[in-house]
Structure 1
């Protein structure tokens, strides 16, 4: 039962993070660009990211705790499939990218929005968009490893 609960937490957290990036990238941002001018769009996106990043922070803690818990239950890293090692490595890269977004371009976006510096805010949001594209691609690879990794 413990493994099942850890796996549920792990999958829900990964789905929230990767699915949230997909929604932000493919739905929210393009829709905001289509209907809102920068003085409305950029504060909306900053506020939306604020809420999303809070959830991602919780998801990361749950991903690490549940993943390490499942590895521990399996007998340690020496006893798990190589795909688990690959998922952890990619997950750590994703976490580093998220931390960079959260503590570099995101605060600059917030400062630019507060100062109504729309070109600066747009540039920071574009940087975030490119980094989210990277993390989204990595997240898809992690899901692929989780699903078909054992077949390799």
Structure 2
């Protein structure tokens, strides 16, 4: 493997690890900790602020994933020449990106509006919906990592 392909793969894996690891951190650590120590008038603005920052960084990670992924496929000779696992990772990645888009451009703005108007019950419901979508995306992201590692030998 030459330096360019290795560098592309490194950036690709770092972007994927950031996205999936960030979802795991938000889902299993940040939100439960916020629930344990903060009342809704503090917790919901905190979670909205954390999500806003995270979603912005994930947008950048997605751009890097697409650029590096398509570059590696092109360098391999196109989709006709890559392993089935690459097709599976792309398909799952596109589903994950669509879900991210829904969270970022539909779910999060709704959460932000409810937080701004201090409608805590509605904000809580909006956050619960986002949490469910993040859990699904997290599971898909873990599956992508499994396919990346185990799929190559199948």
Give the TM-score category using the shorter length. Answer: over 0.9
Structure 1 distance, partners of 2:55, 2:135, is 15
Structure 2 distance, partners of 1:105, 1:85, is 29
Structure 2 distance, partners of 1:16, 1:91, is 14
Q: What stretches of structure 1 move > 6 A for 4+ residues in a row?
A: none
The alpha carbon displacement at 1:144 in A equals 0.2
RMSD after superposition: 0.4
Could you give the per-residue CA deviations for residues 16-58 of structure 1, whole angstroms, max 9, x where no partner exists?
0000000000000000000000000000000000100011000
Instruction: Give 5+ residue unaligned stretches, structure 1.
Output: none
Q: Work out whether 1:112 is the aligned partner of 2:114.
A: yes
Could you give the per-residue CA deviations for residues 56-102 of structure 1, whole angstroms, max 9, x where no partner exists?
00000000000000001101000000000000000000000000011
Give the aligned partner of residue 134 of structure 2. Answer: 132
Give the aligned partner of residue 58 of structure 1. Answer: 60
Give the aligned partner of residue 81 of structure 2. Answer: 79
Instruction: Give 5+ residue unaligned stretches, structure 2.
Output: none
TM-score (norm 2): 0.98
Give the aligned partner of residue 40 of structure 1. Answer: 42
Structure 1 distance, partners of 2:145, 2:77, is 23
Structure 1 distance, partners of 2:129, 2:106, is 10
TM-score (norm 1): 0.99
